[in-house]
Structure 1
Amino acid sequence: MTASYETPVVLDRREGPYGEVVLRRHGALLQIIANGCFLMDTSDGRSERLLIDAALAALDDRPAPRLLIGGLGVGFSLAHATADPRWGPITVVERERAIVDWHRAGPLSELTARALADPRTAVVGADLLTYVNETSDTFDALCLDIDNGPDWTVTEGNQDLYRPSGLADCVRVLRPGGVLAVWSAQPSPEFEGTLWNVGFQQVRTEEIPVARGVPDVVHLAVRPG
Structure 2
Amino acid sequence: MPHPYDIYDAPEVLDRREGPHGEVVLRRHGALLQIIANGCFLMDTSDGRSERLLVDVAYDALDSRPEPGVLIGGLGVGFSLAHAAADPRWGRITVVERERAIIDWHLDGPLSTLSSRALADPRTRILEADLVSYVNETSDTYDALCLDIDNGPDWTVTEDNDSLYSKAGIASCARVLRPGGVLAVWSAQPSPEFEGTLWNAGFQHVRTEEVPVARGVPDVVHLAVRPG
TM-score by length of structure 2 reads 0.96
Q: Whole-Å Cα distance in 1 between the matches of residues 163 and 63 of structure 2?
A: 30
Unaligned runs of 5+ in 1: none
> Is 1:99 the equivalent of 2:102?
yes
Q: Whole-Å Cα distance in 2 between the matches of residues 104 and 203 of structure 1?
A: 36
Preserved CA contact (<8 Å) 2:186 2:222: yes
**How much has 1:60 moved relative to structure 2?**
2.7
From 175, 178, 190, the counterpart of 1:175 = 178
From 77, 81, 84, the counterpart of 1:78 = 81
Which string of whole-angstrom CA distances, capped at 9 and with x for unpartnered residues, describes residues 169-189 of structure 1?
000000000000000000000
> Is 1:165 the equivalent of 2:158?
no
Quote the residue 1:26 is aligned against: 29
Equivalent position SS for 2:82: helix
Q: Whole-Å Cα distance in 2 between the matches of residues 5 and 204 of structure 1?
A: 39
Name segments (4+ residues, structure 1) moved above 4 Å.
Answer: none
**How much has 1:5 moved relative to structure 2?**
4.0
**How much has 1:134 moved relative to structure 2?**
0.6
Quote the residue 1:40 is aligned against: 43
Unaligned runs of 5+ in 2: 1-6
Quote the residue 2:4 is aligned against: none
Equivalent position SS for 2:155: coil
- 1:210-221 matched pairs, under 5 angstroms: 210-221=213-224
Which string of whole-angstrom CA distances, capped at 9 and with x for unpartnered residues, describes residues 40-84 of structure 1?
000000000000000000013210001000000000000000000
**How much has 1:158 moved relative to structure 2?**
1.0
Q: Whole-Å Cα distance in 1 between the matches of residues 30 and 163 of structure 2?
A: 35
> Is 1:50 the equivalent of 2:46?
no
Equivalent position SS for 2:223: strand
> Is 1:16 the equivalent of 2:49?
no
TM-score by length of structure 1 reads 0.97
Task: Give aligned-pair identity as a percent.
Answer: 82
Write the letter of the residue equivalent to 2:165: Y
Q: Whole-Å Cα distance in 1 between the matches of residues 157 and 72 of structure 2?
A: 19
From 157, 162, 184, the counterpart of 1:154 = 157
Question: Between Structure 1 and Structure 2, how many residues are aligned?
Answer: 222
Q: Whole-Å Cα distance in 2 between the matches of residues 113 and 6 of structure 1?
A: 30
Q: Whole-Å Cα distance in 2 between the matches of residues 59 and 178 of structure 1?
A: 7
Q: Whole-Å Cα distance in 1 between the matches of residues 119 and 8 of structure 2?
A: 30
What value does the CA root-mean-square deviation take over the aligned residues?
0.8
